[in-house]
């Protein structure tokens, strides 16, 4: 699969002294192999790389001069070879975070799945239950919406579907992680869930009610969306008024 990932930040006034971190480089793992990676950034600036605590790749940079946008394009190819079997962070994926803390609405989903009785594959049934109950409505939630809030509202986007699923799995102490990535046919970045099962991380995409397999390319993973933020930055504006920024992401994945 070839992918073209493009992220553009627009500021409504010039900013400077801009320190930023971008997490949008897919990494090699036992799940996927990445080849021919090309990175372009505008305005041109020297980038350096590092790894976060989960092994995700980071690109970092510093734009001193005044600018009103930051764009990064990442191109490459991915081969999906199986499932990730690196279990080094499994222990810490069992515990709810602020965004994946269960409340009554999440507990209700968990109860419904448990009562539906038979079936070995608990994560799959959680995925189906979340898919059944939720309505996909862009803009109905924000990046700080918790699993419980989204479950109560009954609507959200892929991030919320994933958070609810994580909250339910963690109620049952099943190690599971948030995944940020790209999906063939989806123009935006995407999010889904991996749950530990039989010594490997099995992917579940509750927004589409499918297993995350050949069409999903992993960019980063963590305890929740907070660990996978694509862009983080701090900067100063010459003017006194607060800066508004807009983030646009375009993803193209094709065979």
In this structure, the chain runs to a length of 255
String of b and e for 223-249 (b: at least 16 CB within 10 Å)?
A: bbbebbebbeeebebeeeeeeebeeee
User: Which among 57-65, 107-115, 144-152, 190-198 is the span making contact with other proteins, rule CB under 8 A?
Assistant: 57-65
Q: Which is nearer to other proteins, 66 or 101 (CB)?
A: 101
Q: Which is nearer to other proteins, 5 or 54 (CB)?
A: 54
Q: Which of 55, 138, 154, 213 binds other proteins (CB under 8 A)?
A: 55
Q: Which is nearer to other proteins, 53 or 198 (CB)?
A: 53
Q: Which of 83, 148, 149, 227 binds other proteins (CB under 8 A)?
A: 227
Q: Which is nearer to other proteins, 3 or 54 (CB)?
A: 54
Name the β-bridge partners of 182.
Answer: 217
Number of residues that bind other proteins (CB under 8 A): 27
Q: Which residues, 233 to 252, sit near other proteins by CB under 8 A?
A: 233-234
Tokens of 145: 């919406």
Q: How far apart are CA 154 and CA 132, in angstroms?
A: 10
**Tokens 């499932």 sit on residue:** 83
Q: Which residues, 166 to 225, sit near other proteins by CB under 8 A?
A: 222-223
Task: Report the Cα 31 to chain-centroid distance in Å.
Answer: 16
| DSSP 8-state code for residue 93 | G
Each residue 76-115 as x (binds other proteins by CB under 8 A) or -, in order, gives: ------------xx-xx-xx--------------------
Does residue 160 bind other proteins (CB under 8 A)? Answer: no
| 217 to 49, 61, 78, 107, 109: CA distances (angstroms) | 20, 25, 7, 31, 28
Q: Which residues, 10 to 39, sit near other proteins by CB under 8 A?
A: 19-21
- Beta strands per DSSP E along 81-224: 135-136, 155-156, 176-183, 190-197, 200-205, 210-211, 216-222
Kindly state the smallest distance separating residue 53's Cβ from other proteins, in Å.
Answer: 4
Contact status, residue 185 vs residue 193, Cβ threshold 8 Å: no
Binding footprint of other proteins on the chain (CB under 8 A): 19-21, 46, 48-55, 58, 60, 62, 88-89, 91-92, 94-95, 222-223, 227, 232-234
């Amino acid at each position: 699969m070839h992918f073209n990932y493009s992220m553009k930040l627009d500021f409504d006034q010039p900013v400077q002294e801009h320190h930023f971190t971008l997490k949008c480089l897919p990494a090699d793992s036992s799940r996927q192999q990445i080849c021919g990676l090309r990175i372009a950034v505008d305005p041109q600036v020297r980038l350096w790389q590092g790894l976060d605590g989960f092994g995700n790749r980071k690109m970092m940079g510093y734009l001193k001069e005044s600018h009103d946008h930051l764009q990064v394009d990442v191109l490459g190819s991915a081969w999906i070879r199986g499932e990730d079997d690196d279990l080094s962070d499994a222990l810490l994926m069992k515990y709810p975070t602020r965004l994946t803390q269960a409340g009554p609405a999440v507990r209700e989903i968990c109860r419904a799945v448990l009562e539906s009785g038979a079936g070995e594959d608990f994560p799959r049934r959680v995925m189906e239950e979340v898919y059944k109950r939720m309505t996909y409505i862009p803009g109905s939630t924000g990046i700080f919406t918790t699993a419980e809030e989204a479950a109560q509202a009954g609507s959200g986007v892929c991030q919320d579907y994933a958070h609810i699923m994580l909250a339910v799995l963690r109620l049952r102490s099943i190690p599971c992680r948030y995944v940020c990535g790209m999906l063939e046919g989806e123009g935006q970045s995407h999010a889904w869930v991996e749950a530990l099962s039989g010594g490997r991380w099995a992917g579940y995409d509750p927004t589409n009610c499918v297993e995350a397999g050949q069409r999903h390319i992993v960019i980063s993973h963590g305890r929740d969306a907070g660990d996978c933020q694509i862009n983080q930055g701090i900067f100063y504006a010459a003017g006194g008024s607060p800066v508004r920024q807009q983030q646009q992401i375009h993803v193209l994945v094709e065979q």
